[in-house]
Amino acid sequence: MPGTFLQRSVTIKVENALLDGCLVVPTRAQGVVVFAHGSGSSRHSPRNRYVASMLNQAGYATLLMDLLTLQEERVDQRTAHLRFDIELLAERLVGAIDWLSQQSEIASLPVGVFGASTGAGAALMAAAMRPEAVSAVVSRGGRPDLADESLPLVKAPTLLLVGKNDEAVAKLNEWANVRLRCERELHVVPNASHLFEEPGTLEEVARRAAGWFDQHFSAAMPQELHLVPPVLAPAMPEEVLRVAA
């Protein structure tokens, strides 16, 4: 287990936006995980910071970053429209993934994406846009349905984690699980609600995320893709479509 962590604040330029982030790199890091936050959240999300710290302890570098600028956040607080602009958020994640490849201390490491809530949609869309760069995806209480047409294009092995008590979002994950053609797993966390606030539930998320990255990261050889034949997905229930992030 790594004993030393290098932490630095970073600014990532994506087109005309400057995005703030925090990069943590443990000694002998085995991979790097980029976090995509849920609606109305930022790099300061306590839940994602907790999961990131557990991944650091497991030997993974992490990048927690804002997907919106301060000015955009102020607008979104009033209108709540940018948090659902999944294409914009995915493009910024792609910018972060490309930025990682230019950082000498981590450029050779495999890259994973961890998406929460609406951020999961952006994470999956980014994985579809950078199939050769993203080695694994984990979604926590995610809205993978927001990636919609990108789902069949995702090649990275994907773990969908959803709370048993988060019934509407669980249905969305079941629907997305059928749409995905990559290696994937849907795991329902007992006694967990949407935010995984119940004792032990967020710990299980962190543990399963670390296990998924352990399984699919490999700095020594390319990740073998396990594609599944396409399946006709059922229509998404109308009541599920109305679920809030």
Domain extents in the chain = 5-241
What tokens were used for 133? 């760069």
Among 3.40.50.1820, 3.30.465.10, 3.65.10.10, 2.40.480.10, name the CATH number for the domain at 5-241. Answer: 3.40.50.1820
What tokens were used for 60? 């993974």
The parts of the chain modelled with pLDDT lower than 70 are 1-3, 38-42, 76, 80-81, 83, 218-245
Give pLDDT, residue 73: 77
- Are the CB atoms for 86 and 125 separated by under 8 Å? yes
Q: What is the pTM of this model?
A: 0.85
Task: Please state the separation of Cα 152 from the chain's center in Å.
Answer: 17
- Are the CB atoms for 111 and 100 separated by under 8 Å? yes
Type and span of the H or E element at 76:
helix 70-79
Q: Dump strand ranges (E) for the chain.
A: 5-14, 17-26, 32-36, 61-65, 111-116, 134-140, 158-163, 184-189
Give pLDDT, residue 37: 85
